[in-house]
């Protein structure tokens, strides 16, 4: 089914990836499953879900793929600790903290109070509870700062004190972290081919850019032309497109000789952000309830929930067509549901 879309290069991606250091953190391949009941309820046949909530590390999530490369780079650098950052209910920080424990490193995280008007429990439950369980040392910051720059400053202080910190940006989103989704691109293409899918769209929530950039770079290197639609969870459309494209270009340059020049490959829909990052809309909540009750799958309200709300919206608008297969990538994060229990009025 993918013959016209997937042209395997003389040098396959996994062979290229072997030149990069990597540690085993991820359960892979993650399942690619049909969603028959959700498909029926939305009157859109052939909806599938790529279960990257099943990557295994600390309840799973998409950041684990990135951390396989990032943590290896930290070990190569002789690090004795990781410094990173994220929002209060950061899935990335939770998985980075767990990976640090697994590899015998300390983890220090800066958490941004990015989401307004949350109660006290928001900073103690969900991901934050697990951060503490993993022994993470935490600093808090107000909203609106350049959090990567803040974390770099903290890492420098640790360095001056005699430590060997390794800085990982928010979301693990640099060209090293994006290699995790280059690997996922080949994994997904192989699964779609083996299961006989006729893929028309790949859809998921896009935030810190690394997942979308890695997939775009991987599909580019492998000659796969299935469109990849990112549902923005924070940034305006053009800002997100620019950010994803810049990282996809850097990532592609690491894995293939053909430059990525077509900005048109970066597809972003920002109609489901709502009031802001981490603030669910009614459509987000309805999407989470729908997939839970139709497929028994848990999504978070920050990333995957907005991603599925976008997928549902695009289906209802007729923008995804009514034939062929659509794959939704579940990026994980359901542990943060405990920080949003008050949002589910119908339960």
Q: Give catalytic residue positions.
A: 90
In the numeric block, which tokens belong to residue 253?
């340059």
In the numeric block, which tokens belong to residue 320?
């995804």
Burial of 344 by CB count in 10 Å (0-12 exposed, 13-18 middle, 19+ buried)?
middle
Residue ranges of alpha helices (H) inside 28-90 are 36-42, 63-76
275, 203 Cβ separation under 8 angstroms: no
Which letter, b or e, does each residue of 274-283 get, where b requires 16 or more Cβ atoms within 10 Å of its Cβ? beebbbbbeb
Distances (CA, A) of 194 to 45, 106, 139, 197, 315: 19, 41, 46, 8, 26
Distance CA 154, CA 284 (A): 35
Give the DSSP letter of residue 117.
S
Cis peptide before 29 (omega within 30 of 0): yes
Distance CA 85, CA 155 (A): 11
In the numeric block, which tokens belong to residue 249?
């270009």
CA angle 311, 316, 317 (to 5 degrees): 95
């Amino acid at each position: 089914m993918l013959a016209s879309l997937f042209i395997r290069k003389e040098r396959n991606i996994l062979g290229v990836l072997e030149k990069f250091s990597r540690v085993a953190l991820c359960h892979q391949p993650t399942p690619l499953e049909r969603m028959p009941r959700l498909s029926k309820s939305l009157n859109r046949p052939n909806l599938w879900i790529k279960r990257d909530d099943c990557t295994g590390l600390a309840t799973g999530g998409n950041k684990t793929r990135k951390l396989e490369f990032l943590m290896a780079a930290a070990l190569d650098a002789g690090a004795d600790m990781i410094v990173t950052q994220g929002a209060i209910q950061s899935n990335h920080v939770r998985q980075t903290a767990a990976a640090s424990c697994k590899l015998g490193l300390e983890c220090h995280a800066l958490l941004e109070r990015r989401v307004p008007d949350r109660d006290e429990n928001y900073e103690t439950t969900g991901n934050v509870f697990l951060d503490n369980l993993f022994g993470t040392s935490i600093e808090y910051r107000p909203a609106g700062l350049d959090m990567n720059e803040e974390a770099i400053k903290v890492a420098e202080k640790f360095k001056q004190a005699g430590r060997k910190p390794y800085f990982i940006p928010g979301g693990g989103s640099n060209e090293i972290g994006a290699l995790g989704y280059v690997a996922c691109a080949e994994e997904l293409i192989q699964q779609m081919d083996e299961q006989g899918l006729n893929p028309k769209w790949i859809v998921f929530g896009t935030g810190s850019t690394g997942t979308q950039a890695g997939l775009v770079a991987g599909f580019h290197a492998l000659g796969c032309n299935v469109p990849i639609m990112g549902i923005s969870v924070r940034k305006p459309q053009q800002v997100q497109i620019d950010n994803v494209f810049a990282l996809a270009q850097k990532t592609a340059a690491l894995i293939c000789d053909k430059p990525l020049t077509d900005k048109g490959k970066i597809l972003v829909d920002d109609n489901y952000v709502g009031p802001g990052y981490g603030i669910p809309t009614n459509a987000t909540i309805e999407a989470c309830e729908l997939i839970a009750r139709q497929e028994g799958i848990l999504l978070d309200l920050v990333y995957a929930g907005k991603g599925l709300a976008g997928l549902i919206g695009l289906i209802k608008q007729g923008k995804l067509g009514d034939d062929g297969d659509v794959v939704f990538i579940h990026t994980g994060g359901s542990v943060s549901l405990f920080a949003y229990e008050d949002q589910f009025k119908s339960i």
